[in-house]
Amino acid sequence: MYEYFNPNPLGKSVGDCVVRAISKATGQKWKDTLLALFTYAYNMADMPSSNAVWGAYLKDRGWHRTAIPDSCPNCYTIKDFCKDHPHGDFIVTTGSHVVSISDGCYFDSWDSGLEVPIFYFRR
């Protein structure tokens, strides 16, 4: 269910979760993803990790955003999301973290499976 993934060319894993998740989900190189997000951020006068920036980037590439109901706001986790979504590609956010999920497996530089998701993008 969890698979280690860190495409950062220097192995860093702090502050770039948006870049790592989008890189994994789209098959792009880490640097190409970062450059694309910086371009969006520049044009939007915001930061690349802003939900508005990376959300616009994904929407322009055919991804669709869906909110996760908060019927159990502290008990539904990334692991639960994976079980409920065994097929497809997703980029899921917890509000403070972003992770790529593909066919029921989450890819991250650390085991974020117990984090609580709030919305996701699906291709």
pLDDT score at 70: 81
pTM, entire model: 0.94
Place of tokens 């994904």: 58
Which helix or strand (DSSP H or E) is residue 80 part of?
Answer: helix 78-84
Burial class (CB in 10 A: 0-12, 13-18, 19+), 25: buried
Calpha distance 61→107 (Å, rounded)? 21
Calpha distance 112→104 (Å, rounded)? 14
* Six-digit token string for 7: 């495409």
Q: What is the mean pLDDT of the chain?
A: 95
Question: What residues make up the domain containing 30?
Answer: 2-6+13-122
pLDDT digits (tens, 9 = 90+) for 62-89: 999 999 988 776 789 999 999 999 999 9
Place of tokens 């991250």: 108
* Six-digit token string for 15: 């502050």
Calpha distance 57→35 (Å, rounded)? 12
Q: What domain count does the chain have? A: 1
Closest CA to 110 of 12, 10, 32, 9: 12
Predicted confidence band at 31 (pLDDT cuts at 50, 70, 90)?
A: very high
Phi, psi of 63 (to 5 degrees): -85, 150
